[in-house]
Amino acid sequence: MSSFPTSFSTGITRLTHVLFFFCAVFNAFIVQAQQKDIAYYTAQAPFKMPTVVEPTLFTKTFSIKDFGAVSDGQTLNTTAFAKAIEACVKAGGGMVLVPAGLWLTGPIQMQSNVNLHVEKGGLVQFTSDHNQYPIIKASNTSGSYTVASPIYGYSLKNIAITGEGIIDGAGESWRPIKKMKFTNAQWNEQLAKGGVLSKDGSVWWPNKEAMEGEAYLKQLKKDKPKPEAADYIPAREFMRPYMVMFVDCENVLVENITLRNSPKFVFYPSRCTNLTMRGVSVFNEWYAQNGDAIDISACKNVVIYKCNVSAGDDGICMKSSSGSKGEPNAEANLQNILIAGCTVYHAHGGFVIGSNTDGGMKNIYVADCNFIGSDIGIRVKSNIGKGGLVKDIFIKDIFMTNILGAAILFDTYYNDVPVGTANEEASNKLKDKVPNFSGFHLENIICKGAKTGVQITGLPEMPVNHLYFQNMVIESESGFVSDYASDIELKKVKFITTKSPIYVTNHTLNLKTID
C-alpha cells in the first residue's frame, strides 16, 4: 500500500490549519455582522436607549380588490382603500393588502391596528388631481388647517406600512422648481409642460394658484383671524402636503417599502412614540424643493435602521419645535434616537439636526452610516428664533465620499426662506430661542473629498461648545474652520488638505489637539 510523502502530508495539515483559521475568521465576521441588528445597536448606545416597541399586528387580511379596487392606473380607488381599512378596523385589526398592480388613489387615512401592506410589484400611485386632497385639521387637537397628506393619521396606535412595493406621491404635480437647479435644456423641457413663471423668471410653478398662494394666505390672516377649512381652498396648490404624516401616534412600523416623489417632505412623523423604520428606501428628485426624505419631529424612542435615501433636501433629519412662543422647552421633545446602517446619497445633508431645535434634543446615536455625494455630511443647523438646547449627540463609524461642502458643519446662522420670497433674514428677527449645540461626540469618521473638513459657526452670546472629535481622517480643501466655539478636543484627527493653514480659528477658546 502506497502512502503520501511526509512533506505532502505536512502541507495538507498546514493547509487544513490555514483553511480552518480563515473559516473561523469568516464565521466570526458573519456572526459579528449578524449581531449588528437593532438589539446590538441598542445595547451599544452610549445612553440608556429603551427598547422601541413595535406594533402588535394581526393576521387577518383585507385585500383592496375585495372592496372594488381596480388596477388599471385610471380608476380612482380612494373609496376601496377606505372601505378595506374600515373593515379591518371593525374586525379588530389586521393587514390591508395591496396586491401587485398599479393602484391610483386619493389620500389614505390610516387607523389604529392597521398594517398597510404593499406587495412586491404593487405600485400605489397618488392622483395629481389636487381636488381629491381635502383641507383638514393639522391634528386632532390643532386649530390650524393643512392639506390632507397622501397617507396620514392622528392619535393612532399600532400602525404599519410594510411590503416590498412602491408608494408614489405625485410630487411633480405640486412642487415649484428653481431655474438655477436646471440646465437650459432641462428648463426648456420643463416650460414645455405648462405651468407659470415668477415675475423674475427664476421659479417655475405648476399653476397660478400655487404661485399666488402665499400672498393669499397673508391676506387671509389679516382679513379673518380664525379662518375655516373652506377659506384655505384657494391656497391649496401652494400648501403642499407631506407625503406620509403621522401625528401623536404610538407604536409605528415602516418596513421594506419604497416611498418616492413627495409633494414636500417624504416621511414626517410628529410627536410620535416608539417608531421603527427598517429597510426603507426613500427617494425624491435631487431638485425637489423642500424635498426632505426623513424628518423626525419631536418624537421619542425612534429607530431608523438600514434605510437608503436620496433626496432634494435633507436626508435623515431631526427636528424639535416647542409648538409655542416663548422660551425653549427644557425637557427635550426629541430624544432616544437610534440611526444605524443607513446610506444617504444626494441630499443637502446626510445626517441633519435642525433647523427647528427650540423643543430641545438629547440622546441621539448615529452609527455605521455612509454619505455619498451629499452637499454636507453631518449638518447641524439652527438660528435665533428657532434654537434650543441640543446635547448628548453621539456619531461614530461614518464613511463619506465626494461631499460638496463641509464634511461636518455646525451653523447657528441658518436662514430658511421659502421659495419665491425675498431674503430679509426673517428667521433671525426674533431674539429668543437661541441655539445651544453642546456635548457632541464624533468618533471613527472617514471622509474622502470635501470642501471643508470641519466648519463651526457659533453665536457671540452662545458659542458652539464641548465638541469631542476622535479617530478621524478627512481629505478636504480646507481643514478646521471655527468662529465662536469653545471647549473642543481633537484626538487622533488628521486633515489632509490642499490649503493651509489647517486650523483657522476666530473667537475660539480651549481648543485642544491630541496626537
- pLDDT tens digits, one per residue of 273-288: 999 999 999 999 999 9
Strand intervals (E) in 61-212: 61-63, 94-98, 101-105, 108-109, 114-118, 122-126, 135-137, 145-147, 151-154, 157-162, 166-168, 177-178, 196-197, 203-205
> Are 280 and 409 members of one domain?
yes
Q: pLDDT, tens digit, for every residue of 396-415?
A: 999 999 999 999 999 999 87
- Residue 285 lies in domain: 61-171+240-514
Is residue 102 domain-resident? yes
DSSP states of 378-416: EEEE--TTT--EEEEEEEEEEEEE--SSEEEEEES----
CATH code for the domain in which residue 109 is found: 2.160.20.10
Query: Residue 10's pLDDT band (boundaries 50, 70, 90)?
Result: very low
> Are 215 and 352 members of one domain?
no
Q: Give the chain's count of helices (H) and strands (E).
A: 5, 36
CA distance 318 to 347: 14
> Are 122 and 221 members of one domain?
no
Query: Residue 124's pLDDT band (boundaries 50, 70, 90)?
Result: very high
Is residue 43 domain-resident? no
pLDDT at residue 23 in the model:
47
319: pLDDT strictly greater than 80: yes
CA distance 303 to 299: 11
Query: How many domains is the chain built from?
Result: 2
Closest to 293 measured CA to CA, from 305, 283, 304: 283
Please, what's the b/e burial string for 183-197 (b: 16 or more CB within 10 A of its CB; e: otherwise)?
A: eeeebeebeeeebbe
> Are 74 and 218 members of one domain?
no
> Are 218 and 128 members of one domain?
no
Is residue 69 domain-resident? yes
pTM for the complete prediction? Answer: 0.90
CB 312 within 8 A of CB 288: yes
pLDDT at residue 310 in the model:
98
pLDDT at residue 180 in the model:
96
> Are 301 and 210 members of one domain?
no
Half-sphere exposure of 271 (CA within 13 A, CB side): 15
Closest to 293 measured CA to CA, from 334, 321, 259: 259
> Are 509 and 363 members of one domain?
yes
CA distance 420 to 198: 8
> Are 217 and 166 members of one domain?
no
Q: State which of 231, 254, 270 marks the end of a domain.
A: 231
Is residue 423 domain-resident? yes
Is residue 24 domain-resident? no
Is residue 37 domain-resident? no
> Are 402 and 478 members of one domain?
yes
CA distance 381 to 392: 16
Query: Residue 59's pLDDT band (boundaries 50, 70, 90)?
Result: confident
Compute CA distances 444 → 239, 468, 472, whole Å: 42, 12, 5
> Which residues, including other chains, have CB under 8 Å from residue 107's CB and lie 6 or more apart?
78, 126, 132, 133, 134, 148, 149, 150, 151, 152
Is residue 440 domain-resident? yes
For residue 113, give the 3-state DSSP assignment.
coil
For residue 199, give the 3-state DSSP assignment.
coil
CA distance 215 to 100: 43
CA distance 337 to 47: 10
Query: Residue 431's pLDDT band (boundaries 50, 70, 90)?
Result: low
- Helix (H) / strand (E) element for 335: namely strand 334-340
Is residue 19 domain-resident? no
Compute CA distances 456 → 65, 205, 367, 449, 507, whole Å: 55, 36, 22, 18, 11
Query: Residue 141's pLDDT band (boundaries 50, 70, 90)?
Result: confident
Closest to 317 measured CA to CA, from 255, 390, 250, 248: 390
pLDDT greater at residue 68 or residue 331 = 68
Helix segments in 113-160, DSSP class H: none
> Are 222 and 365 members of one domain?
no
Helix segments in 122-247, DSSP class H: 184-191, 208-223
> Are 469 and 379 members of one domain?
yes
> Are 81 and 122 members of one domain?
yes
Amino acid at residue number 5: P
Query: Residue 325's pLDDT band (boundaries 50, 70, 90)?
Result: very low
pLDDT at residue 18 in the model:
38
CB 490 within 8 A of CB 467: no
Place of cell 426673517: 426
